[in-house]
Amino acid sequence: MSAPATRQSLPIASDLGKNIDYELFMDCVHCGLCLGSCPTYVETGNENDSPRGRIYLWRAIADGRAPFSPEAEKHMNGCLECMACETACPSGVQYRHVIHSFKNDQARTRGPAPMLGWLQRAMLFGLTPHRGRMGWALFPVKLMQRLGLGWAVRLSGYLMPGFLRRMQEIVPDLAPYHNLPEFLPAIGPKRATVGLLLGCAADAFHPQINLATARVLQHNGCDVHTPRSQACCGALHKHAGLDDDAARLAAGNCDSFAAVPGGLAGLDAIISNAGGCSPVLKDYGHILEGHDAAGPGAVFGGKVRDIHEFLAELGPVKPRHKVSLKATYHDACGLAHAQKIRSAPRQVLAMVDGLSLVPLAENEHCCGAAGSYNITQPEMSAALGQRKSGNIAATGASAALTGNVGCLLQIDRHMRDRSPRVWVGHPVQILDAAYTGEKPFGLNVAIS
Amino acid sequence: MTVAAIEPSVVENLVRRLTGIVGPDGLINSQAELLVYECDGYTLEKNRPDVVVFPTATEQVVEIVKLCREMRVPFLPRGSGTSLAGGCLPVGGGVIISLARMKRILEIDLRNRFALVEAGVINMWLTNRIKSEGWHYAPDPSSQGACTIGGNVATNSGGPHTLKYGVTVNHVMGVEIVMPDGTVQTLGGPVEDGPGLDLTGVVVGSEGTFGVVTKAWVRLVRNPESVRTLLGVFESVDDATAAISAIIGAGIVPAALEMLDSLILKAVEEAFSFGFPLDAGAVLIMEVDGLDAGLGEEAARIEKLAKANRAREVRRANTEAERLLLWKCRKQAFGAVGRLAPSYCTQDGVVPRTALPEMLRSITAIGDRHKIRIANVFHAGDGNLHPILLFDERDPDQLRRVMEASHEILDECLRLGGSVTGEHGIGVEKIDFMAKLFSPDDLAAMRRVRQAFNPDGLCSPDKMLPTAGACAEAGRHKQVKPGRRAAL
């Protein structure tokens, strides 16, 4: 929409767009092959909402050809950072660095996530990345759910301001909290020693996924260390352009895992079950560049494995139980695009007898969760969530599986509107059921 | 016609009235946002439009076109902006009508083998929608993951598999078009072979100069029962091109016959790690499809012909995954050259197949003379060349040499009895060649046809057909094309 003459341009820093290696812009030859893969472009049809357009826009701002206008900021912030464009790009454009350079400059000149109000921002950075605080914040909801009053919580959402209601709507049915012991031994012959990352908000929303991950690892012959002092991976901060905060958290996690018996060197791998976190965890070497913890950061990053990736590399133990379920699999962007992990989750699920995995249309199209995107860009996020839930419903599957808790929350929230009988979960929950014979939380399924 | 810049007061009025048609979310006109629309896949020339408007229905397109006509403002349609010839360049500014929000697949009728789609449907989406039932849409340009069917109609797009199956015009049964006077015409339709003039055939390939196509009835094709894909590795481009002529000359109609030279192999190997031999002079991707019976023998004949033309080895794609990766390498080759140089200009020329060896030698000589690296990847089966000239757009001298080398290559195509475009279209890039390609009488006839559709020239001005008398002499393009001046 037009900018009336009276509208103020955003504060112009003369060094805007100068923190980027200019060659990264030049990698883009403007062919446009990324357009069809970009979820925001597919929604709006506006090339300003496409990867090619955003690169062009940011380059024009860096060149001083275009003002850093509210419109430009809107289009840049509309990016999901799903990296589907990197998958589509034949020229090898490193889009993640281009968008990150924008986020850095934005955080520097306008503060992180400037589209949010102070309360939202405080909740985003002060609450979500803290496992403990989230647990407490969710306690009243959990209590109501236990008392059979979950419906009252959902209803109360209508009394809340928009952003609080959206946050409330994303809360799933909460499972009992399992405080994982700091050490769990391998079951059967020992094959590896691993560290387990719990995540932050994920652990408060879906503690049963961490439990399932630990048990699946045990059943595959892994000693599992889960240091309690670990914190958020820093992805939230990194994507908001807050590099210092991300580095602080990264250094803290390096310390945490260095403190397990045997230290970092004693761990064969550090396991994450969150596809959104693992790309950042793997990048600790870069995040901590020039920092005291640079050395441990590189070691830590080199050991990080997504759970499916790790199992496929290790050669998974065949589970004993049969799980009779028709399911579909959504490729989390952090896995498929950022880490190119596509076959491993399907490969490990294929071991489960009785499970039939049906194809999902647009399986690599972002669901709109995209980290904190559902808070910062609620409209686009909802549009993509509805698109995803429609595609899932069309498969006729009774379960939708995805390897990232952020996607899981978003899909669960939209499936509740579309088709509430579809259970939304993590592949490790199905694996856990196949190893232990116990039903996953919330899923009524025949296991034999 | 050549259009002068539009007065700010006119633009203001235009925006106000367009907002009335499509609503405030249906257009953009801030300077930063318009910048993104100043060029398409052809970046040598740039010009900002005054407004980009995003209609969602034919009725809105009608209102937009009528308004432009009333206000005497030029307008042009745009799909995904993947044109390599500046087909979407808004010469002289005006209104870009983006069809990107008209993206519904309205009807699929497999029994009658057609689909009705809106112009903004991405080519690949149509195939994706019907592939589980064993069908596809045949024209498969390399940009099919992004380009729109409307854009394909405008440029009469080809693709690797159009050697056997025919280009876009062979697959479009009818179109709905908003004429430059704002009326809506339905040309052709879902029924085959209607009587009367083939106006659909006239509109396909008119590069948006006859009006705005809003819907198309397209033919759907059953997937072949079986496919054999071979990769021939040759020591030299000469040997590879000789093999092409031998295969076609033997009466074999391959589904596709594509050549990649050593420079392109390096780029795609870096991008996709297929396992191409990097010391080869050229490779040919040779594909045959059809009924399973007899296909093995046909593949064996091709292998024999390739070897007779000094192929070092002939490999077979053993799995569907291998075949798809091979095609991905071919189709994304243009983009992959971004790994070789910061900018590139893809040329598009046609020569008779038998002239391919001579043409490729000329391309090498032209590249050497201008000190420009040129990579070759092309639809060898129909003699459609795509030399890719590598350069850095920040260096004006390289830019000049690229332009000169491009023109010499195209002149050479003409000299060998070919043409200056196989599928990318004329756009703004090749408008000066029209006078070399056609006689004044030919051009006058084409202009009369355009006039019948687009009498006042407001729809896609300065595209495809040179303005009468303006381009008769070479070298005058700098005066007639403001867009080109802006880029240089």
Most confident of A38-47, A63-72, A372-381, B463-472: A38-47
How many helices (H) and strands (E) chain B has is answered by: 18, 20
Does residue A106 sit in the same domain as residue A122?
no
CA distance A53 to chain B (A): 6
> DSSP 3-state assignment of A323?
strand
- Cβ within 8 Å, pair B337-A1: no
Does residue A151 sit in the same domain as residue A199?
no
Given a cut of 60, whether residue A10 has pLDDT beyond it is no
- Residue-number span of the structural domain to which A363 is assigned: 318-447
Q: What is the pLDDT of residue A414?
A: 95
* Number of domains, chain A: 4
Q: What is the pLDDT of residue B235?
A: 94
Q: What is the pLDDT of residue B480?
A: 32
Q: Which residues on A lie below 8 Å from B37 (Cβ)?
A: 47
B87–A contact, CB cutoff 8 A: no
Q: What is the pLDDT of residue B4?
A: 61
The lowest-confidence range among A140-149, A285-294, B249-258, B437-446 is: A140-149
Q: Which residues on B lie below 8 Å from A92 (Cβ)?
A: 270-271, 336, 338-339
Does residue A229 sit in the same domain as residue A327?
no
Best probe of the A interface among B14, B18, B29, B33, by most A CBs < 10 A, is B33
The H or E element that residue A385 is part of is helix A378-395
Q: Domain residues of chain B, as ranges?
A: 8-98, 105-222, 226-333, 337-487
Q: Which residues on A lie below 8 Å from B81 (Cβ)?
A: 32, 35, 47
Query: Which pLDDT band, with edges at 50, 70 and 90, does A117 fall under?
Result: confident
Q: Is residue A157 situated within a structural domain?
A: yes
Q: From CA B454, how far away is CA B447, in angstroms rounded? A: 10
Q: What is the pLDDT of residue B369?
A: 96
B344–A contact, CB cutoff 8 A: yes
Q: What is the pLDDT of residue A11?
A: 47
Q: Which residues on B lie below 8 Å from A88 (Cβ)?
A: 145-146
Q: What is the pLDDT of residue B468?
A: 55
The H or E element that residue B3 is part of is none
- Cβ within 8 Å, pair B101-A45: yes
Mean pLDDT of B44-70: 96
Q: Which residues on A lie below 8 Å from B338 (Cβ)?
A: 27-29, 31, 90-93
Query: Nearest CB to B54: which of A33, A45, A53?
Result: A45
Q: Which residues on B lie below 8 Å from A27 (Cβ)?
A: 338, 342
The lowest-confidence range among A173-187, A259-273, A356-370, B285-299 is: A173-187
For residue range B262-295, what is the model confidence (pLDDT) as tens digits? 999 998 888 888 889 989 999 999 999 999 999 9
Domain end among A312, A331, A348 = A312
Q: Is residue A174 situated within a structural domain?
A: no
B61–A contact, CB cutoff 8 A: no
The lowest-confidence range among A75-89, A110-124, B103-117, B423-437 is: A110-124
Q: Which residues on A lie below 8 Å from B101 (Cβ)?
A: 44-45
Mean pLDDT rounded to a whole number for chain A: 89
Q: From CA B470, how far away is CA B249, in angstroms rounded? A: 42
Topology of domain B8-98 in CATH is 3.30.43
- Between A51 and A374, the higher pLDDT residue: A51
Does residue A346 sit in the same domain as residue A433?
yes
Given a cut of 60, whether residue B470 has pLDDT beyond it is no
Does residue A98 sit in the same domain as residue A127?
no
Q: Which residues on B lie below 8 Å from A48 (Cβ)?
A: 28, 33, 36
- Cβ within 8 Å, pair A2-B338: no
Does residue A286 sit in the same domain as residue A346?
no
Q: Which residues on A lie below 8 Å from B125 (Cβ)?
A: 36
| Alpha-carbon distance values, B132 to A202, A271, B129, B322 (Å) | 36, 37, 7, 20
B122–A contact, CB cutoff 8 A: yes
Mean pLDDT rounded to a whole number for chain B: 90
Q: Give the global pTM.
A: 0.90
Which of the listed CATH numbers 3.40.720.10, 3.90.1150.10, 3.40.50.300, 3.30.465.10 matches domain B105-222? 3.30.465.10
Cβ neighbours, 10 Å, residue B238: 18
Domain end among A312, A336, A364 = A312
Does residue A47 sit in the same domain as residue A125?
no
For residue range A302-330, what is the model confidence (pLDDT) as tens digits? 999 999 999 999 999 999 999 999 999 99
- Cβ within 8 Å, pair A31-B27: no
Q: What is the pLDDT of residue B11?
A: 94
B395–A contact, CB cutoff 8 A: no
CATH (domain of A304): 1.20.1050
Does residue A159 sit in the same domain as residue A190?
no
Interface residue ranges in chain A relative to chain B, Cβ cutoff 8 Å: 1-3, 23, 26-37, 41, 44-48, 52-53, 56-57, 60-61, 65-67, 69, 71-72, 75, 88-93, 361
- Cβ within 8 Å, pair A69-B32: yes
By C-alpha distance, the chain B residue nearest A67 is: B32
Does residue A293 sit in the same domain as residue A396?
no
Best probe of the B interface among A7, A23, A31, by most B CBs < 10 A, is A31
Best probe of the A interface among B9, B14, B25, B31, by most A CBs < 10 A, is B31
Query: Nearest CB to B36: which of A3, A48, A361?
Result: A48
Best probe of the B interface among A47, A58, A343, by most B CBs < 10 A, is A47
Does residue A305 sit in the same domain as residue A347?
no
Strand pairing report for B51-53 and B95-98: parallel
Q: From CA A266, how far away is CA A272, in angstroms rounded? A: 17
Domain B337-487 is found in CATH 3.30.70.2740 = yes
CA distance A3 to chain B (A): 6
- Cβ within 8 Å, pair B39-A30: yes
Q: Please write down the HEC assignment for all residues of chain A.
A: CCCCCCCCCCCCCCCCCCCCCCHHHHCCCCCCCCHHHCHHHHHHCCHHHCHHHHHHHHHHHHCCCCCCCHHHHHHHHCCCCCCHHHHHCCCCCCHHHHHHHHHHHHHHHHCCCCCCCHHHHHHHHHCCCCHHHHHHHHHHHHHHHHCCCHHHHHHHHHHCCHHHHHHHHCCCCCCCCCCCCCEECCCCCCCEEEEECCCCHHHHHCHHHHHHHHHHHHHCCEEEECCCCCCCCCHHHHHCCCHHHHHHHHHHHHHHHHCCCCCHHHCCEEEECCCCCHHHHHCHHHHCCCCCCHHHHHHHHHHEEEHHHHHHHHCCCCCCCCEEEEEEEECCHHHHCCCCCCHHHHHHHCCCCCEEEECCCCCCCCCCCCCCHHHHCHHHHHHHHHHHHHHHHHHCCCEEEECCHHHHHHHHHHHHHHCCCCEEECHHHHHHHHHHCCCCCCCCCEEC
- Cβ within 8 Å, pair A32-B333: no
Q: From CA A273, how far away is CA A426, in angstroms rounded? A: 9
Mean pLDDT of B313-319: 90
Given a cut of 80, whether residue B86 has pLDDT beyond it is yes
Give the whole-number percent of chain B exceeding pLDDT 90: 70
- Between B481 and A247, the higher pLDDT residue: A247
Q: What is B226-333's CATH number?
A: 3.30.70.2190
Q: Is residue A15 situated within a structural domain?
A: no
Q: From CA A155, how far away is CA A171, in angstroms rounded? A: 13
Fold match, B226-333 / B337-487: yes
Q: Which residues on A lie below 8 Å from B82 (Cβ)?
A: 31-33, 35
- Cβ within 8 Å, pair A31-B41: yes
> DSSP 3-state assignment of B161?
coil
Chains A & B: contacts with CB separation below 8 Å: 134
Q: From CA B216, how far away is CA B200, in angstroms rounded? A: 10
Given a cut of 60, whether residue B483 has pLDDT beyond it is no
Query: Nearest CB to B54: which of A29, A37, A46?
Result: A46
B339–A contact, CB cutoff 8 A: yes
> DSSP 3-state assignment of A119?
helix
Q: Is residue A9 situated within a structural domain?
A: no
Query: Nearest CB to B100: which of A34, A45, A57?
Result: A45
CA distance B454 to chain A (A): 27
The H or E element that residue B376 is part of is strand B373-379
Q: Is residue A8 situated within a structural domain?
A: no
- Cβ within 8 Å, pair A91-B339: yes
- Cβ within 8 Å, pair A29-B338: yes
Given a cut of 80, whether residue A401 has pLDDT beyond it is yes
Q: What is the pLDDT of residue A7?
A: 41
Q: Which residues on B lie below 8 Å from A2 (Cβ)?
A: 15, 28-30
Mean pLDDT of A189-205: 92
Q: Is residue A2 situated within a structural domain?
A: no
Q: What is the pLDDT of residue A14?
A: 60
- Cβ within 8 Å, pair B332-A90: yes
Give the whole-number percent of chain B exceeding pLDDT 70: 95
CA distance A125 to chain B (A): 31
Does residue A428 sit in the same domain as residue A326?
yes
- Cβ within 8 Å, pair A48-B339: no
For residue range A19-38, what is the model confidence (pLDDT) as tens digits? 788 888 988 889 899 999 99
The lowest-confidence range among A151-155, A256-260, B186-190, B234-238 is: A151-155
